Amino acid sequence: MKLLTCPINGTRPLQEFTWGGEFREMPDPEQATDEEWADYVFNRSGAPGVKKEWWHHTASGVWFIAERDTERDIVLRTYLYTGKMSDD
Amino acid sequence: MTDLSNQQAASNAALEKNRMARQDGEWIDRNQPLHFVFEGKTYSGFVGDTISSAIAASGNLFMGRSFKYHRPRGILSMSNHDINTMMQDDQDPTIRADVVLAQNGMQLRTVNTFGGLKSDRGRYMNCLSRFLPAGFYYKTFHTPKWLFPMWEKMFRTLTGLGKVNFETPRRYTAKRYAFADVLVIGSGPSGLSAALAAAKAGAQVVVVDENVRPGGSLTYDYGGMDESPALLGRLLSEVTACEKIEIWAGTLAAGYYSDNWIALVDDQRMTKMRAKTVVVASGSYEQPCVFRNNDLPGVMMASAAQRLLRRYAVRVGRNFVVLTSNSAGYRAALDMVSGGASVAAIVDMRPEGELSHWHELAAGLGIRILAGHCIYEAIPEPGRYGVSAAVVKRLSSAGEIEQAGGVTFSCDAILMAVGYAPAANLLYQAGTKMRYSHEIEQFVPDLLPESIFACGRVNGVYTLSSRLLDGERAGLEAAQKAGYVVEQKRVDVPAEPSGPTHPYPIISHPKGMNFVDFDEDLHLRDFYVSVQEAFDNIELMKRFTTVGMGPSQGKHSNMNAIRILARLKGKNIDEIGTTTARPFFHPVKLSHLAGKGFTPERLTPMHHRHQELGAVFMDAGNWKRPEYYQIEGLSRIEAIRQEVRSVRTNVGMIDVGTLGKIEIFGPDAVLFIERMYTGLFAKQAVGTTRYALGLDETGVVIDDGVVGRLAQEHFFVTTTTTGSAQIYREMNRWALLWKMNVGIVNATGYMAAMNLAGPKSRAVLAPHCNIDVSDASVPYLALRTCEIGGVSARIMRVGFVGELGYEIHVPSEKGAYVWDLLMQEGQKYGIQPFGVEAQRILRLEKGHIIVSQDTDGLTNPFDAACGWAVKMNKPFFIGQRSLKIAQATERKQVLAGFALAENYRGELPKESHLLIEAGDIAGRITSITDSEALGRVIGLCFVRPDLNEIGRMVQFRLSDGALVPAQIVATPFYDPDGMRQKV
C-alpha cells in the first residue's frame, strides 16, 4: 500500500484518498473547436512518465494536486491548487 | 508422563543412531522428548527438532519421492527449500519437514506417492524417464482430441502434491500493524551488525529472521572451531542490551510492497510492517552442483549438514565426500570431523584449490584433497535409498571432464559447497537493479531504491569480518535516511578477494539424472532439449521446462538454469537476465491472508421503525432501504401493490433519508449551482424548488435531484442516493477550480427525510405543522421551513410519485419522532409505509427516469428525453459544450414509453430484454411494471429514433425467444397533466 502526503493532513495511507483523474486545463468552451473539446474531454495519455493529478483526502475533504512519476511509481510532490496553472 | 518415564524417553531419543552428545548452541531441548509417526513408523526427537532432523537422527535420510520420476529423495538444504521432503497430515497438505518443528503425536505421510514411500507404484516412472523429456506432454497428449479427457484425468492424478482436506476447520488469524525506523531482514552477522549501528544512531530497529533463532550462518558455519558461536554470543548480548532493537525470530519477510510496506508472516499472523528504511541482510542460498545422481538421499548442501550438526546434534553420515569450490566446503569438512565423522576426500573444482589457512587445517587432519577435480557421479547403495560412493574425475584446465581414469571414494554422504545465489527476492520486488559480478560470479545490487539497503552475502560480501563492516555501513546509511544524525563515519568494506561461487558447477553425463531442478525433476538434458526446440530465452525456457516453477520457486535451480542457457547460447550471464521474483518469498497460508469481510452499512434514523413494520431490506449503495413491508397473508407483489394503492388513494410514507443532501451557501452560491446543473436557477424565488439534472463533462447524465432556495445565498440540494458522496466531492473540486466564494456542506448524515404522499397527506401533516400547509400557503414546488411536532423542519412540495406530497427534512435525531407522529396521525386515513419497489412503480407511472437504471454511461439528456431540463442558452454548465456537439449529432437511441396490450396475460418482459425490429436489435427495456392504476403493463425503453412514434407497434424478445408486441406511448402514463400533485 502506497503512502500519499496530503498538504493539510500529512502522510497517510493511500486508502484514505480518492483519485480525481488527470489535472487538465479546460479550453475556452466558446473558442475551442469540436476536436479540441473532444480531446480535452476524452483523451488521456497513458504513457509512463510524470503525471499531474487530482487527489482527494476523503476523510477531510481536501483536494490537492499530486505530481506522480508513473514510470518510477513515486510521488514527486503534492500541493494545494492555487489557481495558477503552473505552480512552479 | 512421570519424571522417570520422561527420562527414559529422553534417553531413548538420545540413543537414536545419528544423534550426538549435547552440542554447544544446539536448538533442541533434551529434557522434552517427543514421538511422532511418519509413513507408519514411529520416530523420536526433542522439542526444537524439525521433522527432518528427528527423522535424520534415526539414520534414515529417505523422506520423500520426487515429483515426476518418483525417485527417492531426502534432505537438501534444511532451510525451507526441501520440496522433496514435503509431508502432510490430516489438515495440512504442505508441511515442509526441513523447517516445521516436530510435535508430539504428529501423524505424517509423504505427499507424492501411490501406496507409500517405499512401495510407491509411481517409482516405475523413473524407468520411463528417457521417454519423458521436458515438454513431452505439450507434444504427446493433445491428439486425438477425443482422448484428451482421459489424459487430463491421468495428469490430474499424477501431478500435484498434498491432498487438500476440505473438512479442515476455519481458522481466523488476526492482522497486526507495526512500524519501524529501520527494518532489518535477516539476523546473520551483517544483519545484527546493521541493527546495532542503526540503533546506536538512535533509530528504532526491528530485526526479522525466518529461522526460529537469530544468528544466520553463525549458528552452523563453525569450521570446526568456536569463533562463530563466540561472535554470535557477543552480538546477541549487545543486541539484547539495546532497548531500540527488537528481534522477531520465526518471522518471514514474505513480500515487499510500495513505500516500504512489508508483509511479515509468523506462525500466528501476518504483520503489516511500515518501515522508514529497510536493510536487506537476507543472505544467500547455497547452490547444488549438477552431477549424475546428485538427488540421492545423502547428497546435500554442505550448509544442510552443518545445520543438522550444530542446531540438532545430528550427524547425517559417518564418511563424507565434500565437493567444493570455496573455503566453506573446507569448513564443512572440518565441522563433520569435529562431529566425529570422517571425510574421505575434499574434491575441489578449482584448479588451484584452496589457498587460505582452511586448506592447511583440513590437510592437517589427514583429509585427502583433490584440486581440479569434480564428482562425475554418485553411486547409489543397492536399495537406491542412499549413497555408497562418489566417482571423482579430473577437470582439465579448460574445465572439461577427463573421462579417462578417476577415483571412486566410498562414502555415505556427499556435501556440495560450490557457491551461492543471493536471496535477493525482496530486493527485486523493491525495484533494485542487479548486475552480474564476474569477480564473484553472483548477481549483486547495482542500483538500490533510495530507502533500501543491502549488506552481507546478498550484497556479494562473504568474508566474515567484511560482512560485519558491511552491516555497519548499511545500518548507518539506513539510520541516516530515516532522519537520524550520523557522525560522518565512513565504513570501508574491503573488496572480496575471490568469490565462493563456481561459474559452472555442471557436470554432464551420458546417462543423465544430473538434476538441475529438484522440485520439477529436470535434469541437464531437459535444458538442451529446450534450446534445441528454440525455447532459448530465459522466460521461454522457464515455461517450456518449468524450471523454477515448483514450490521452491527456483531458489536452488534458477541460477544453474541461467548458467546452462548462457553457455549453450555463448552469452554472458548479464545478457541472459533473470526471471521475475514476485511475492511471496515462501508460500504463505491462505488463513494468514484471508480477513473478515468488512462491508460498511448505513442505516437511516428510522431503520428500527422499518424493522418493526416488517420491512424487507435491500441494498442501495451502502444504505439499507426497505424494499417493501411484509403484510401477513400477502405475497411480495400483493404487498407492493397495496403500498402503491394506498399512495394513490389515501396516503403513504417513505423514508428518503438516503438521498444526498447538500447545503450550499455564499455570494457565489447561485452562480455555482447554475454551473453545476443544466437548469436555470438565477431567478428561482426564495421558498421554491426546481428539478436539477447534473451531467459530467462529456454530457452524460450522472445525477438528478431538487434544488431548493432557502435564502438568496442559501440553497438546499438533494442528489441521488448512490451519487451523494461523489457529487459532494466533485462540487468541492469545481468550487476550488472556479475559485468561488461558496461553502458546501454534506448534510446527508445529519438530516433525516421522509416523503409523505397521497391525497390525504395534507390532512396528516396539517395538525402537526406550525404553518398553514394549504395549497395557497405551500403550493406545488414550494419550500418552507417550519416546525413539525415542535421539531424544526424543511418541507418541499414535490410530486415525483404523482400525488400531493411533502418531502420532510428534519435533524436525524428527530427523524424517528417525526415519523412516529405522522404514522400515528395517518392511522385515521389508512396510512401505509411504502418501500423502494412501490416508489419505483409510482415514479414509472409518472414516466420519471431513474438515473443509472434508465440511463447508462453514454446517455445524454437528449437521449433520455429530458432535453426540457437543459437550458442550452445559459453561459455555462458542466457538459454544455459536449452537448452542443451531441445536439448536432444524430441520436442513436432515445428513451420512450411503451405499453403492452391491456389484455396481455403472458410472461412479462424484463429489464434489458431487447426490442427487435425486422430481425435486428433496435432497443432495450430499461424499466417495466404491471401498473394497477393504468390496468396494463407499462415501461420505458431505449428505441431507435425512427421507431419512436406515438402509437407505433414494436416487439420485445423474451429470454426464450418469444416476441411480445408493445406500443410506443406518451409519458407520463398516469395523470399526464399532473393535476393530482398540484391540488
Give the residue-averaged pLDDT of B26-38: 96
pLDDT band at residue A86, thresholds of 50, 70 and 90?
A: very low
- Residue B258 is nearest to which of A32, A42, A73, comparing CB atoms? A73
B176-285+422-481 and B288-418: identical CATH topology: yes
Residue boundaries of the structural domains of chain B: 3-122, 176-285+422-481, 288-418, 504-594, 609-652, 654-843, 890-983
pLDDT band at residue B11, thresholds of 50, 70 and 90?
A: low
| Most distant CA atoms of chain B, gap in Å | 118
Residue boundaries of the structural domains of chain A: 3-42+50-79
Given an 8 Å threshold on Cβ–Cβ distance, is A34 in contact with B876?
Answer: no
Given an 8 Å threshold on Cβ–Cβ distance, is A38 in contact with B431?
Answer: no
Question: Do B11 and B31 contact (CB within 8 A), yes or no?
Answer: no
**Chain A contacts to B (CB-CB under 8 A):** 1-3, 18, 20, 29, 32, 34, 37-38, 41-42, 54, 56, 58, 61, 63, 73, 81, 83
Give the Cα-Cα-Cα angle B163, B169, B174 (nearest 5 degrees).
115
Our CA-based measurement puts residue A50 at a distance from the nearest CA of chain B, in whole angstroms, of 18
Question: Do B207 and B248 contact (CB within 8 A), yes or no?
Answer: yes
Q: What is the pLDDT of residue A88?
A: 42
Q: What is the pLDDT of residue B1?
A: 43
Residues of B in contact with A42 (CB under 8 A): 698
Given an 8 Å threshold on Cβ–Cβ distance, is B261 in contact with A73?
Answer: no
Q: What is the pLDDT of residue B6?
A: 60
CATH of domain A3-42+50-79: 3.30.2270.10
Given an 8 Å threshold on Cβ–Cβ distance, is A29 in contact with B431?
Answer: no
**Does B737 touch chain A if contact means CB atoms closer than 8 Å?**
yes
Topology, domain B288-418: FAD/NAD(P)-binding domain (3.50.50)
The answer to whether the peptide bond before residue B972 is cis (omega within 30 degrees of 0) is: yes
Given an 8 Å threshold on Cβ–Cβ distance, is A1 in contact with B259?
Answer: yes
Pairing of strands B175-185, A17-22: unpaired
State which residue of chain A sits closest to B884, comparing Cα positions.
A34
Give the residue-averaged pLDDT of B369-385: 95
Distance CA B832, CA B651 (A): 7
Can you identify the CATH homologous superfamily of domain B654-843?
Probable tRNA modification gtpase trme; domain 1 (3.30.1360.120)
Residues of B in contact with A2 (CB under 8 A): 258-259, 261
Q: Is the pLDDT of residue B3 over 70?
A: no
Give the residue-averaged pLDDT of B236-260: 97
**φ/ψ (deg, to 5) at B515:** -85, 135
For residue B150, give the C-alpha cell. Answer: 482421459
Give the residue-averaged pLDDT of A40-68: 94
Given an 8 Å threshold on Cβ–Cβ distance, is B257 in contact with A1?
Answer: yes
Amino acid identity for residue B740 in this structure: M
Q: What is the pLDDT of residue A87?
A: 43
Q: What is the pLDDT of residue B7?
A: 62
**Residue from B270, B882, B883 whose CB has the most chain A CBs within 10 Å, to mutate:** B882
End-to-end CA separation in angstroms for chain A? 29
pLDDT digits (tens, 9 = 90+) for B780-797: 999 999 999 999 999 999
Q: Is the pLDDT of residue B4 over 60?
A: no
Pure H helices in B519-667: 524-532, 538-545, 558-569, 573-576, 590-593, 607-612, 636-649
**H/E segment holding residue B445:** strand B442-447
Q: Is the pLDDT of residue B593 over 80?
A: yes
Can you identify the CATH homologous superfamily of domain B890-983?
Aminomethyltransferase beta-barrel domains (2.40.30.110)
Q: Is the pLDDT of residue A85 over 50?
A: no
CATH class of B176-285+422-481: alpha beta
Distance CA A37, CA B8 (A): 89
Q: What is the pLDDT of residue A8?
A: 97
pLDDT band at residue A29, thresholds of 50, 70 and 90?
A: very high
CATH of domain B3-122: 3.10.20.440
**Radius of gyration of chain A, Cα coordinates, nearest whole angstrom:** 14
Given an 8 Å threshold on Cβ–Cβ distance, is B732 in contact with A3?
Answer: no
Given an 8 Å threshold on Cβ–Cβ distance, is B259 in contact with A42?
Answer: no
State which residue of chain A sits closest to B696, comparing Cα positions.
A41
Question: Do B451 and B255 contact (CB within 8 A), yes or no?
Answer: no
Dihedral sign, CA of B207, B211, B214, B216?
Answer: negative
Topology, domain B504-594: Arc Repressor Mutant, subunit A (1.10.10)
pLDDT digits (tens, 9 = 90+) for B754-771: 999 999 999 999 999 999
Residues of B in contact with A3 (CB under 8 A): 258-259, 274
As a whole number, the mean pLDDT across chain B is 93
Distance CA B42, CA B13 (A): 11
pLDDT band at residue B600, thresholds of 50, 70 and 90?
A: confident
B136 in the Ramachandran plot: left (φ > 0), alpha (ψ -120 to 50) or beta? alpha
pLDDT digits (tens, 9 = 90+) for B475-496: 999 999 999 999 867 889 999 8
pTM: 0.86
Q: What is the pLDDT of residue B340?
A: 92
Q: Is the pLDDT of residue B383 over 70?
A: yes
**H/E segment holding residue B387:** strand B387-394
Distance CA B403, CA B438 (A): 29
State which residue of chain B sits closest to A60, comparing Cα positions.
B729
**Does B697 touch chain A if contact means CB atoms closer than 8 Å?**
yes
Q: What is the pLDDT of residue B9?
A: 62
pLDDT band at residue B218, thresholds of 50, 70 and 90?
A: very high
Residue B591 is classified by DSSP as: H
Q: What is the pLDDT of residue B153?
A: 79
pLDDT digits (tens, 9 = 90+) for B399-433: 899 999 899 999 999 999 999 999 999 999 999 99
**Residue from B598, B881, B884, B887 whose CB has the most chain A CBs within 10 Å, to mutate:** B881
Q: Is the pLDDT of residue B741 over 90?
A: yes
Q: Report the share of chain B in percent with pLDDT over 90.
A: 84
Q: What is the pLDDT of residue B851?
A: 94
Q: What is the pLDDT of residue B384?
A: 86
Q: What is the pLDDT of residue A1?
A: 74
Residues of A in contact with B736 (CB under 8 A): 63, 81
pLDDT band at residue B124, thresholds of 50, 70 and 90?
A: confident
Our CA-based measurement puts residue B61 at a distance from the nearest CA of chain A, in whole angstroms, of 44
**H/E segment holding residue B176:** strand B175-185
ipTM beyond 0.90? Answer: yes
Residues of A in contact with B261 (CB under 8 A): 1-2
Q: Is B868 helix (H, G, I), strand (E, B) or coil?
A: helix
For residue B654, give the C-alpha cell. Answer: 417513505
